[in-house]
Structure 1
Amino acid sequence: MARSLTRLDSISGGLALLTALVGLAVYPHLPAEMAIHFSASGQPDNFAPKPVAVAAVPVVMVLTHFVIRGAARIDPPEDPRTMTGITVATMLLLAAVQGLVLAWNLGHAVPFDLVLVGILVWSVLVVGYAIVREYGRGV
């Protein structure tokens, strides 16, 4: 039995596709070995071949979408918009991380202290959103 695509599937897929297309657009300008992980001080501490580094995050985005979708089926939230918000926020975070990795490998300065603050703020906002959506009513 084939399942139809939902609006959320389309948004997640579109963000993954956009992330892949950006990687392909800058592909010729990237080094053969790309830094893919950085210490808190901004020093690269893990590398991958260019094809893997460009393709991995879009693939992870698609897999993450299906994991979140499966989790929502197993334990559905009170408000279906909760999972929509969390899914879109997660896809945007992964796309932003890939953008930062591509930027660093293209030779652009990436302010890692701001990246860490941004991820912390993102985490607080997503958790806060979920708590308000699920428990904010009736409190």
Structure 2
Amino acid sequence: MRVDKKSLFLSVAICLLPILIGVYYYDVLPEQIAVHFNVSGEPDNFVSRTRAIIELPIFFAIVQVIISLVVDFDKTPKKGALIAKGIIPLISVLVQGGIVAYALDNNFNVPQLTVFVIGIVLIILGNYLPKKEFWGKYNFNLFGLEKGVNEQKVVRAYALYMTFCGVVIFISGFFSSTVALVLIVVIAIFSTVLPFYLVNKYKSSN
């Protein structure tokens, strides 16, 4: 396994970048900062400003290290690896930035930002998932799915579903956090079942 150390260090650094934002505003931040919000968009969990600034970026950095190693170990093509390694740093900057923004101005809507981020990520993945130049050979055995299927049809159908869900989630963010949350939960559940349905549908058409 050859680890791309340059992209690993860069992506982890981006994950940790929001810490500098927190440090910059540290003196004007409240002692307690909201880090979790209920379905109505109201904060329901607070931690000290030091923890709020440090913990989430470090968590994202750890997740990024794991994803980067998995991607490199799987020998994912360069274009696909770039997308896979770019999602967590993007989320880290936007979500942590949103938390700091809310601490500075309680009118900032962090749940709405989170919904937008989820929608954008799904749209990006749905757009690039079918392209083999990004991912190389699809490995259905990774999920315990059957062989002998038309891989391209399965992946294209799932990618279309992801793109559609991303658009729906993104649009829902303009209206209601509760509706968006329900949609995300339903989509997440259906997403675990859909691959098995698609494999069964296209297994004899290869």
Tell me which interval the TM-score lies in, with the shorter structure as reference length.
0.7 to 0.9
Partner of 2:155: none
Take 1:113 and 1:57, find their aligned partners in 2: how far apart are those partners? Answer: 16
Partner of 2:103: 105
Partner of 1:5: 5
1:86–1:103 CA distance, 2 compared to 1 (3 A) = same
Partner of 1:38: 37
Take 1:34 and 1:27, find their aligned partners in 2: how far apart are those partners? Answer: 11
Q: Which structure would you say has the larger Rg?
A: 2
1:96–1:4 CA distance, 2 compared to 1 (3 A) = closer
1:116 CA drift (Å): 4.3
CA contact (8 A) 1:41 1:112 kept: no
Unaligned 5+ segments in structure 2 are 138-150, 153-206
Take 2:130 and 2:4, find their aligned partners in 1: how far apart are those partners? Answer: 29
Give the TM-score of the pair, scaled to structure 2: 0.56
Task: Report Cα offsets for 1:89-136 as digits up to 9, x if no partner.
Answer: 221111100010001111242235642441232231242234433379
Partner of 2:113: 115
Take 2:92 and 2:75, find their aligned partners in 1: how far apart are those partners? Answer: 23
Structure 1 residue ranges, 4+ long, deviating more than 6 angstroms after superposition: none
Across the aligned residues of Structure 1 and Structure 2, the Cα RMSD in angstroms comes to: 2.8
CA contact (8 A) 2:102 2:110 kept: no
Give the TM-score of the pair, scaled to structure 1: 0.79
| Amino acid of the structure 1 residue aligned with 2:100 | L
Q: Secondary structure at the match of 2:5?
A: coil
Structure-to-structure mapping, 1:1-139, within 5 angstroms: 5-6=5-6, 8-77=7-76, 79-112=77-110, 114-128=112-126, 129-132=128-131, 133-134=134-135, 139=152
Q: Secondary structure at the match of 1:34?
A: strand
Take 2:101 and 2:49, find their aligned partners in 1: how far apart are those partners? Answer: 13
CA contact (8 A) 2:95 2:110 kept: no
- Of 14-23 and 94-103, deviating more is 14-23
CA contact (8 A) 1:86 1:126 kept: no
Q: Secondary structure at the match of 2:39?
A: coil
Take 2:115 and 2:15, find their aligned partners in 1: how far apart are those partners? Answer: 24
Take 1:33 and 1:94, find their aligned partners in 2: how far apart are those partners? Answer: 20
Specify which structure has the bigger relative contact order, considering alpha-carbon pairs within 8 angstroms and separated by 6 or more residues.
1
Take 1:17 and 1:120, find their aligned partners in 2: how far apart are those partners? Answer: 20
Q: How many residues align?
A: 135
